Amino acid sequence: MTDFERKVYQIIVNMHLYGKNPTLNDLKRKTGKSEEDIRAVVKSLMFKGALKWDKNSNKWRI
């Protein structure tokens, strides 16, 4: 994982532990990156199998 992938992954994991689902605006605010960069990293993490989106519950599966 790259540093940015690790950072986004850790933000999602930490928020998940507190029962929250991070929004795109949350990730933009916490990382300081653009929407395009965040979307690319999230897609990369999903492709690598680190993250999975559960459509039924609308939450991340870690």
pLDDT tens for 4-56 read: 999 999 999 999 999 899 999 999 999 999 999 999 999 999 999 999 998 89
Task: Classify 2 as helix, strand or coil.
Answer: coil
DSSP 13-31: HHHHHTT----HHHHHHHH
Alpha carbon distance 32, 16 (integer Å): 20
Structure-block tokens of residue 41: 């990293």
For 8, the token pair is 């986004």
Amino acid residing at 45: L
What pLDDT score does 9 carry?
A: 96
Q: What is the pLDDT of residue 62?
A: 84
Domains within the chain, CATH numbers bracketed: 3-61 (1.10.10.10)
Local structure of residue 50 (DSSP, 8 states) = S
